[in-house]
Structure 1
């Protein structure tokens, strides 16, 4: 059993001004069901709307709301990395800012983590996306699993729980946020999957093109394969 005391919830943000107050309120309600200390770290990825002023207001009103703001757009992997670096909790919870991830799933994921895993990842069994997006995602997931020798049902779900010390050691490059379970396993992490809720987007639009993302992911897969083949772990028997 692994006891969690403090939690850092990392949320990359790009032009999600209308979703942030709702998301924070939902996180508050979800975390009230636990006995954990927690805080949210919003990472503004160079938003061009009022996302940053909304984050400032949340941080002024709520001690559990924090933020990091990029000077320019750097991408989701960079936003996750900045959030990981700023995290002080025993575990990191990651999720999207678009309200499609449901904070109500977090307590169950934390309970699963405390059973002795290093990472728990969400599986969107009933995705609320367009048919094209679902088909492309399903195909991409199958290709990723095939080339990286994985069995993950839903690598694209941002709702994850992971051990902070391991997350902060991850090699993060552009696109690497799509392979967090694989990167964690390369450190020896044990990973569990759990079904989570998935909701339609309420405000704003998706920031990622389906086909552009599929093309980029293929080249990222080649990097992952290289890292898998060249990575190593060691344990020290004796030292003086």
Structure 2
């Protein structure tokens, strides 16, 4: 049974629909799924076996616009298990949107995330929850990846080293999707694009205590990997983007003002030079190149500075504009 769609269908593309409401669990397990029909039933069985002795739990599956029957399969699971809820997107929105929707809907004091492809081992969950007592976020460190996914091992090492340089935190596997976090961390996160890959780094910058834990990593049994070689290049760009946004989100003029200083100063020096030469008897024509270069530099610097001012206006407006997904996880 597909989730309810509001009349007109417009809102269904911005907000997921849900099945099976539940309140007050100790643990929320969040599982984004895109075309994983061959894995979700087995994953559900494994989760139920592991979570049975861990108190009240809920399992939140996010069907991210699957077209292979994953959504229907998840709805069938939810009908037979009251601790399962399913959130549906009409189209593929990506993991950031899936996480934000699930974090907003999650009611647990501890929130776990793992992928639906069966490579993350649910048997590691009790260890992760135990480690979570002494920190705010636990991120998995996949063991055996060199054997299971040798083509990903080297790019991952480079990615993690760059992350250490840019964010001041070194994790062996900072991009691992197997995580456990306290609810306050989920409340704080504002994810879009590919920012879901940097949850540990963003949490570290925000002052949360982040640790890693070696976890078992299994081979993919069903379906195909969603990642290709281009991911390494886009990951490097995303690292720089996240570093910039996290540093200057609330003060863009600091960045653009600094960038504008050099062309403004250089242009001003050139124009002063031309003016001094004019006062000493030269003509403007004799120094037209310097005068034109000075004008161009001043214009470039002014445009960069104005970009910073516009950024400040956008940042100020963003503080009063409702988020795309709720900023707080509902009680």
- Is 1:225 aligned to residue 264 of structure 2? no
Q: Which runs of 5+ in 1 are unaligned?
A: 233-240
- Is 1:135 aligned to residue 154 of structure 2? yes
Aligned residue-pair number = 226
- In the TM superposition, 1:83-122 aligns within 5 A as 83-114=102-133, 116-122=134-140
SS in 2 for 1:195: strand
Aligned-pair distance for 1:121? 1.1
Aligned residues of 2:61 and 2:85 also touching (Cα < 8 A): yes
**Whole-Å Cα distance in 2 between the matches of residues 80 and 228 of structure 1?**
19
Q: Residue in 2 aligned with 1:238?
A: none
- Is 1:29 aligned to residue 75 of structure 2? no
Q: Which runs of 5+ in 2 are unaligned?
A: 1-24, 251-331
- Is 1:18 aligned to residue 38 of structure 2? yes
Q: Residue in 1 aligned with 2:185?
A: 166
SS in 2 for 1:9: strand
- Is 1:41 aligned to residue 72 of structure 2? no
Q: Residue in 2 aligned with 1:64?
A: 83
**Greater mean alpha carbon deviation, residues 36-45 or residues 133-142:** 133-142
**Whole-Å Cα distance in 2 between the matches of residues 33 and 145 of structure 1?**
37
Taking structure 2 as the reference length, the TM-score comes to 0.65
- Is 1:190 aligned to residue 209 of structure 2? yes
User: What do residues 79-136 of structure 1 show as CA deviations (whole Å, max 9, x unaligned)?
Assistant: 111111111110110000000000000001001112x211111111221533212222
SS in 2 for 1:161: strand
SS in 2 for 1:203: coil
Aligned residues of 2:157 and 2:172 also touching (Cα < 8 A): no
SS in 2 for 1:162: strand
SS in 1 for 2:181: strand
**Whole-Å Cα distance in 2 between the matches of residues 144 and 76 of structure 1?**
20
**Whole-Å Cα distance in 1 between the matches of residues 163 and 206 of structure 2?**
19
Aligned-pair distance for 1:231? 6.6
- Is 1:125 aligned to residue 105 of structure 2? no
**Whole-Å Cα distance in 2 between the matches of residues 104 and 130 of structure 1?**
21
Aligned-pair distance for 1:223? 2.0
SS in 2 for 1:205: coil
**CA RMSD in angstroms, aligned pairs only:** 1.7
Q: Which has the larger radius of gyration?
A: 2
Aligned residues of 2:169 and 2:204 also touching (Cα < 8 A): no
**Whole-Å Cα distance in 2 between the matches of residues 25 and 107 of structure 1?**
16
Aligned-pair distance for 1:192? 1.6
SS in 2 for 1:39: strand
- More helix per residue: 2
Taking structure 1 as the reference length, the TM-score comes to 0.89
